[in-house]
Amino acid sequence: MLSSTEENYLKAIYKISERDNKAASTNAISSEISTSAASVSDMLQRLSSKGMTHYEKYKGVTLTEQGNKIATNLIRKHRLWEVFLVEKLNFTWDEVHDLAEQLEHIQSPDLVNRLDQFLEHPKFDPHGDPIPDADGNFTHRRQIELTNLATEEIGTLVGVQEDSSTFLKYLDRMGLSLGTELKVLEKFEFDGSVKLLVNNKEQITISNKVCKNLFVKK
Amino acid sequence: MLSSTEENYLKAIYKISERDNKAASTNAISSEISTSAASVSDMLQRLSSKGMTHYEKYKGVTLTEQGNKIATNLIRKHRLWEVFLVEKLNFTWDEVHDLAEQLEHIQSPDLVNRLDQFLEHPKFDPHGDPIPDADGNFTHRRQIELTNLATEEIGTLVGVQEDSSTFLKYLDRMGLSLGTELKVLEKFEFDGSVKLLVNNKEQITISNKVCKNLFVKK
DNA sequence: TTCTATTTTTAGATTAGTCTAAATTTATTA
DNA sequence: TAATAAATTTAGACTAATCTAAAAATAGAA
Ligand SMILES: [Mn+2]
Ligand SMILES: [Mn+2]
Ligand SMILES: [Mn+2]
Ligand SMILES: [Mn+2]
């Protein structure tokens, strides 16, 4: 049984390895969880002695099968709780992440599966991220960055890269939510901003930075 | 903001003070939370310096208004989560306590009230214990120990003293649950055991120890 | 009231997780 | 390839929470 702290390290390693497709470096973990590199270095040795990670000094760290299983299960719990908070308790999508960060550490063999059943086995969380099943398998979805949509092409918003509260609130203000249909009207080469037709109604212009954080399905 | 550990001390102090109607002693707390008296003594000084308790060396400890508020809110959260687990996730009443012990420490100003709303403001938890409202007020119910029911009297089972899994499972086996109607058929003076008519159907005999753990409403 | 038993507190040590500063290793650049 | 920069690890210290053993205070009994 791992502590919440140890679990958070596993999650960070999982996230970084997936993003960069290589072993997670001490510094990467350090900035991911806002902890000093010295503390991270220390923890990596402990996690390895517990069989959670493969670690060679100065070479970075990867998850063992066991570590991967725990990390995946944490993600499963995190995302299921987010669905619960939005669907059942009517929280908004920008409010649930921090709460899920706490709830994902609740220890119970049964709870997560009962929650899954209660929510009717959702495949995606409120931010469009896939929820792994009990065996750790993710539903894969063909999605592309909005920046890769050509002029006149149409896509449906299915996910976001970032899930900071400020970004999500900005999307709400712009009338953008998961399922929204977007048509690219014009792409401005100057700064990469894009003019969109939203749900065949309003026209809005969003910056390149926003574009890069939106995933659509053609 | 207090740690889970500190919160558990406040809960223990609350529980003991209520039960014994006096300041909680170091030893009482020690046995309540299975921690050495030395550790308790140490923690009591810390809690007092944080304004959570009134503490005088060798004289025991009581909660301040602030400490009381936090303890009451923990009980509120604990019991609401128990209702959630039983009503929504179909856990049995003997499975939920340990999970609620974890869930009660989730920090969120909003969560508990939304949960309360989602559950439609339950007044009692699955063990018949009252759930305090947002202001800390408990619903009081006139209930008596089953041992105080005379022969031929009828009562409805509304609560249990103990909520250990073994006791609750025993009650399940005997066909006893909250709401069950009980008629006292015979009281055996020899060992204090009692013969009951359950829901006007079966007859069972239960020990004095069991009797003392059951609350009924006439 | 005085001795003894019980309760409580203090002293000193331990573990997890963290930090800063210093040392070491690896990577980059001239 | 040698010097320098960056990344990583080690050393040493701190806090929260715990323990055991010892000291001190209180309560109970003779
Ligand atoms: Mn999240
Ligand atoms: Mn999410
Ligand atoms: Mn309980
Ligand atoms: Mn209960």
Residues of A in contact with B106 (CB under 8 A): 99, 102-103
The β-bridge relationship of strands A154-160 and A181-187 is antiparallel
> What does each C-alpha distance from B96 to A106, A117, B15, B121 come to in angstroms?
13, 17, 19, 19
Closest CA to A80 of A100, A95, A63: A100
Cβ separation B89–A111 shorter than 8 A: yes
Residue B109: predicted pLDDT:
86
Q: What percent of chain A has pLDDT over 70?
A: 100
How far CA A36 is from CA of A30, A40, A41, A79, A138, in Å, comes to: 6, 6, 9, 28, 32
Query: Average pLDDT for residues A43-63, to the nearest whole number?
Result: 97
pLDDT at A114: 98
pLDDT at B39: 98
Residues in A touching B95 (Cβ below 8 Å): 110
Percentage of chain B exceeding pLDDT 90? 99
What pTM was computed for the model? Answer: 0.94
Measured CA to C1', the nucleotide nearest B27 is: C7
Q: Which nucleotides of D are covered by protein (CB under 7 A)?
A: 7-12, 16-22, 25-26
Q: A144-217: what fold?
A: SH3 type barrels. (2.30.30)
Tell me the CATH number of domain B4-63, given options 1.10.8.60, 1.10.3720.10, 3.30.930.10, 1.10.10.10: 1.10.10.10
- pLDDT tens, position by position, B34-83: 999 999 999 999 999 999 999 999 999 999 999 999 999 999 999 999 99
Average pLDDT for B146-167: 95
**Average pLDDT score over residue span A16-27:** 97
- Report domain extents, chain B: 4-63, 144-217
Q: Mean pLDDT, to the nearest integer, of A80-91?
A: 98
Written in H, E and C, the secondary structure of chain B is CCCHHHHHHHHHHHHHHHHHCCCECHHHHHHHCCCCHHHHHHHHHHHHHCCCEEECCCCCEEECHHHHHHHHHHHHHHHHHHHHHHHCCCCCCCCHHHHHHHHCCCCCCCHHHHHHHHCCCCCECCCCCECCCCCCCCCCCCCEEHHHCCCCCEEEEEEECCCCHHHHHHHHHCCCCCCCEEEEEEECCCCCCEEEEECCCEEEEECHHHHCCEEEEC
